[in-house]
Chains A and B, each alone.
Chain A
Amino acid sequence: MSSRPSAKPAAPAPSSKVKTLTIDDRLVSAREDESILDAARDNGIQIPTLCNLDGLTPVGACRLCMVEVKGSSRLFASCVTMVGEGMEVVTDSERLQKYRKTIVELLFSERNHVCAVCVSNGHCELQNLAQLLGVTHLTVPYLNPKLPVDASHERFVNDHNRCVLCQRCVRVCGEVEGAHTWDINGRGIGARVITDLNQPWGSSETCTGCGKCVQVCPTGALTEKGKSVREMSKRTRFLPYLTMMREDRSE
């Protein structure tokens, strides 16, 4: 077989085969429709992630889960790279640490993540990552963009200053709630999450007000209105259960 990893198939084949590979010098086996990330986690090997969330389709947006695969000089986002027979994966190296650190630094520099006065302070996945990776200061300049806060919704607030464009909100709204209120508008550094056709959240026709987007948002970008600094902690556990229940029903 080719050593080149393949992208995740749209739907897993029902009769999936087992592949054997090594991750960090450990011999592991995994179903062929499993991603490297899942295979690693099944074997107790932790790879840092941000956009990834159990119960949502992986998109490989944040690139934090990059790993090295022997035989290729490029890095692979382990959440969207399927396991392959005989693959040799390295999840932690000096090079990977450097890239991961830089990614987190760039996320911090692109918007105004002022942890000290953020409602999600102490409960934020971006903050946790920075701590995990030892990002104590930035080596790139802050862009300090002037970004608005959309507080037009009755119960929720969207603060673009804290958004990392992970698209969890977009996915949970489209895939789980089925409302597809959220989307990404613009490109690159100008990209923004929008509701409906880029109108204030409070005037959205499609939003059901379920709050799933708020719970899955890893930072203080989507929050409950009225939560003070440090008070906004998220609950994401509901997601796998919800998915499980639905699968049960459809069987």
Chain B
Amino acid sequence: MGKTITIDPVTRIEGHSKITLKLDDAGHVSDARFHVTQFRGFEKFCEGRPFYEMPALMARICGICPVSHLVASAKACDAILAVKIPETAAMLRQVLNLAQMIQSHALSYFYLSSPDLLLGFDSDPAKRNIFGVLEKNPQDARDGVRLRRFGQQVIETLADKRIHPAWLVPGGVDQALTADKRDLVLSWLPECYEIVGRTLERTKQSLEGFREEIRTFANFPSLFMGLTTADDKLEMTDGVLRIVDANGKVVVDNADPSTYRELIGEAVEPDSYLKSPYFKPAGYPGGMLRVGPLARMNVIDGIDTPRANEEWAEFRSLERGAVLSSFHYHYARLIEILFGLEKIDQLLHHPAILSKQVRAHARPNNFEGIGVSEAPRGTLIHHYRIDENGLIEWANLIIATGFNNLAMNRGILQAARHYISSQEIHEGMLNRVEAVIRSFDPCLSCSTHAVGAMPLVVELRDAGGRLLDRKAR
């Protein structure tokens, strides 16, 4: 008799979702689905608002990565104004975006995933949270808190507000950086470098112990997409789109992000509020893409900061083509944190960083604007159309977590097939299925269940929907 297992809600991710596993008569997993059960409808309530309100309004989508939305939205507005923003403004936006990436990655790595990585997937679920880490490895917990605080402090220092800053505006930023603020940020860097250094070392040493997880956590061929600089280096804020295949072969190169509609299609599934974007030329669902830290490591030819570049080279030597296991999202995240620190260091030493010329003023010159940036979780697209008075007529957002939707579904199926059978359900096995999702760090906006306090309910149902077994923690 077939059965269905539901993991609801999925814990230690940003948002609300559930996982359903279907078992066939023989007790093997026949299907796995990841459902995003929350619905926001942001695009709809932007309609009729002045376009220049979008950055601050869109930032409200998320309390974890508001800056990512600010950046993509401000860029879409720049396109509506048809301005090239001042060089200093572009650099300041980069610093802000990198700080956001660092704090978000620190949250994902240390708060949400380190309980699995440091305490073990089968450890006591009651202690498998950041407090458990604090008890067993206090240094790691403190490192996580420090790194996350660094990111938030930079955002606060630059933009005067930690969670929802309104510093990014169409045309640039609304205030220049001062020397004392710059020096303050620079003074925090040495400690952060040390933290990333030791965390990277420990993570690399621990990989050996996770061979099974590496082999089964969404480890399959797919396309990878991300922004790169014009010379194919790692880029978070501006740049061009690149797509590579599983062998690491470049499929799309130097694509102007505003042509995304030629590259990306969006499919809608009946059982989830999350749309599934795919690579259009390859069709649906064959054009499955992955975005985010792992994808960015796979699309680039290098990193233009020395230490991160070395780490990247070592990372890419894990496999001959692209690195395919989603388990390595964690590792990639640490390399990106290192890149973020080095890049902020570079940018803040730039001679023009304190320039007062930080905003271009213009009236709307285009009826349409597209802004693309890399959010911590991957490529983020904001696309607006305005009427002749500058009011939003239509808005479309493609969010990083959406891009990963197909791969996450495939990934939980792969892990569930490996770890689950109807004969017995171990909590640690279910935790692994959840952890596949966690490795992608999906941001289903907006809440963080960082402590893992949300109950996990697993239901076993037969083909007729009858409840056979129920486990809760």
Contacts and interface: CB of A to CB of B under 8 A. Distances in A.
Contact of A228 (B48, B55, B389, B391): B55
Contact of B53 (A148, A152, A202, A228): A228
A237 interface: no
A140 to B, nearest CB: 22
Contacts of A119: 53
A152 B52 CA distance: 15
A143 interface: no
A228 B169 contact: yes
Contact of A225 (B50, B55, B166, B174): B50
Nearest to A231: B174
Given A116-B164, A151-B389, A227 B56 contact: no
Given A151-B390, A229-B166, A116 B50 contact: no
Contacts of B363: 226
A228 B390 contact: no
Interface in A105-154: 116-117, 119, 121, 148-149, 151-152
A117 B57 contact: yes
B52 A149 contact: no
A227 B52 contact: yes
Nearest to A153: B389
A121 B391 CA distance: 20
B60 interface: yes
DSSP majority for the A interface? loop
B339 to A, nearest CB: 30
A192 interface: no
A227 B361 CA distance: 11
Contacts of B174: 228, 231
A219 to B, nearest CB: 15
A157 interface: yes
Given A149-B48, A231-B174, A225 B53 contact: no
Interface in A81-118: 116-117
A116 B48 contact: no
Contacts of A117: 53, 56-57, 60
A226 B166 CA distance: 14
Contacts of B356: none
A152 B391 CA distance: 10
A228 B170 contact: yes
A230 interface: yes
A151 B52 CA distance: 12
Interface string A145-168: 000110110000100000000000
B390 to A, nearest CB: 5
Contact of B56 (A149, A202, A229): A229
Interface in B27-62: 48-50, 52-53, 55-57, 60
B45 to A, nearest CB: 10
B343 to A, nearest CB: 26
B52 A148 contact: no
Contacts of A149: 48-50, 391
Contact of A231 (B60, B169, B390, B391): B169
Interface string B317-361: 000000000000000000000000000000000000000000001
Interface string A204-248: 000000000000000000000111111100000000000000000
A88 B53 CA distance: 49
A152 B49 CA distance: 13
A229 B57 contact: yes
B452 to A, nearest CB: 29
Interface string B166-195: 100110001000000000000000000000
B53 A229 contact: yes
Nearest to B55: A228
B69 to A, nearest CB: 12
Contacts of B56: 116-117, 228-230
Nearest to B389: A151
A46 B114 CA distance: 56
Contact of A151 (B50, B57, B166): B50
Interface string B210-231: 0000000000000000000000
B363 to A, nearest CB: 7
A121 B160 CA distance: 14
A230 B166 contact: yes
B183 to A, nearest CB: 26
A117 B42 CA distance: 13
Contacts of B164: 116
Nearest to B362: A226
A231 B169 CA distance: 10
9 contacts: A117-B56, A117-B57, A148-B48, A149-B48, A225-B390, A226-B170, A226-B363, A228-B55, A228-B169
Given A228-B52, A231-B174, 20 more contacts: A116-B56, A116-B60, A116-B164, A121-B166, A148-B48, A149-B49, A149-B391, A151-B50, A151-B389, A152-B389, A157-B50, A202-B389, A225-B50, A226-B170, A226-B361, A226-B363, A227-B52, A229-B56, A230-B166, A231-B169
